[in-house]
Amino acid sequence: MKILSIIGARPQFIKAAVVSKALLAQGLHEIVINTGQHYDYNMSDVFLKNLNMLPPHYNLGAGSGSHATMTAAILCGCEEVMIKEKPDWVLVYGDTNSTLAGALSAAKLKIPVAHVEAGIRMLPKDMPEEINRVLVDRISSLMFCPTLRAVQNLRNENIVNGVIHTGDVMLDLFQTMKSEFDVSIVEKLELKRPFVLVTLHRDYNVDNKNTLECILMELNQVAKSFEIVFPMHPRTAKRITNFGLEKLISSIKITEPLPYSSVMGLLSKSEFLITDSGGLQKESYFAGKRALVVMPDTGWIELTDARINVLAGVNEISGKINQISSSGNFITGIFGDGFASQKIARVFAEM
Ligand code: UD1
């Protein structure tokens, strides 16, 4: 059996790191396309290196540009490879433009699609990631769900065939890499404890000047009580420069995007997390930390229902900090048992 996997954005390198190894362990033949959606070294190659991944077989170099430009370039590039490689399955991850374009090119060639992290739903419906998620689940033959809620979300849309509850591959990676988390980063960055880790990159948080200004002013309030470290996504960095908001980051320690082991090292030593990242919301829970989630909704509603994570509007960040420290008890098992990638590989191996 030949499986063609499509990765290209930072969260996909992280998810594929464990799944590719599990496929190999089952003796399956995997070909990997890197779409190049993320192209800075710190957003792409560093993960391949840091997570001991094999180099992708194909690099499309389709990063940057508008959603349409990028999606179209990935569609064309993937189609060419699929025609040449004739895979039995195409494997896509998460909710990025690479996920959508990869799945769509396969579906049009009548190659079955398997979707890792299927069934996640959240508002607003017009966010690019939600559009990608919904469309990819519609054209997938296998949907590997990280949570039971994701299974239920699909059932609510009358999707039941091919839905498999596996648990979350990000938990697998967290458990595998835990002993290698780089806590020395705290000293390297000369952070004084207690500190708070911040990451923000969602288009609705950073693409509008007033919204971004409001968020940075809120972070300045938080900085009166905690040191803040903010590994900054290139999208956010560009907007701060374009909007002329540099004066609002003088009390925040900004770094380049960091490798997985460093972010996990920071997370494990932080007081709590402020984020709009889908992945970090879960990873903070894996690390026994709490997160203030700067989003109108979350795909990981189990964590907000359990009051481990708290949602905050952009003008509520400093005001809601007290709610994080006093929130609910840690419950376990939401994201499976840390063997999601093996379960996924076994599904293919037993076909
Ligand atoms: C994408 C995903 C998002 C995911 C995020 C993780 C979509 C629609 N969104 O958002 O779900 O949480 O990745 O990081 O696919 N840029 C660089 N260097 C890079 C990568 C991007 O400068 O290495 C710039 C791009 O040129 C663009 C901006 O950052 O101006 C946004 O990049 P893009 O990949 O479109 O979306 P993300 O915001 O990263």
Q: Single out the catalytic residue among 38, 115, 201, 233.
A: 201
Q: What is the pTM of this model?
A: 0.96
Cβ–ligand 1 contact at 133 (below 6 Å): no
Does residue 174 form part of some domain? Answer: no
Name the packing angle between helices 67-85 and 97-108 (round to 10°): 40
Residues 344 and 316 in one domain: no
Domain hosting 58: range is: 2-168+336-349
Residues 142 and 198 in one domain: no
Quote the pLDDT of residue 297: 96
Average pLDDT on 184-189 reads: 97
* Number of domains the chain contains: 2
Most ligand 1 atoms within 8 A of CB, residue of 74, 100, 233 to mutate = 233
Per-residue pLDDT tens for 295-328? 999 999 999 999 999 999 999 999 999 888 766 6
Average pLDDT on 233-242 reads: 98
Residues 125 and 8 in one domain: yes
Does residue 93 form part of some domain? Answer: yes
Residues 149 and 196 in one domain: no
What are the backbone dihedrals phi and psi of residue 78, each rounded to the nearest 5 degrees, phi first? -65, -40
Per-residue pLDDT tens for 200-228? 999 999 999 999 999 999 999 999 999 99
Helices of type H across the chain = 10-25, 45-50, 67-85, 97-108, 128-138, 148-156, 169-177, 185-188, 203-206, 209-222, 234-242, 260-269, 278-286, 301-305, 321-325, 340-349
From the list 56, 86, 61, the residue with the least C-alpha distance to 76 is 61
CA of 303 to the centre of ligand 1 (A): 25
Cβ–ligand 1 contact at 283 (below 6 Å): no
Q: Evaluate whether 290 touches 273 at the Cβ level (below 8 Å).
A: yes
Does residue 251 form part of some domain? Answer: yes
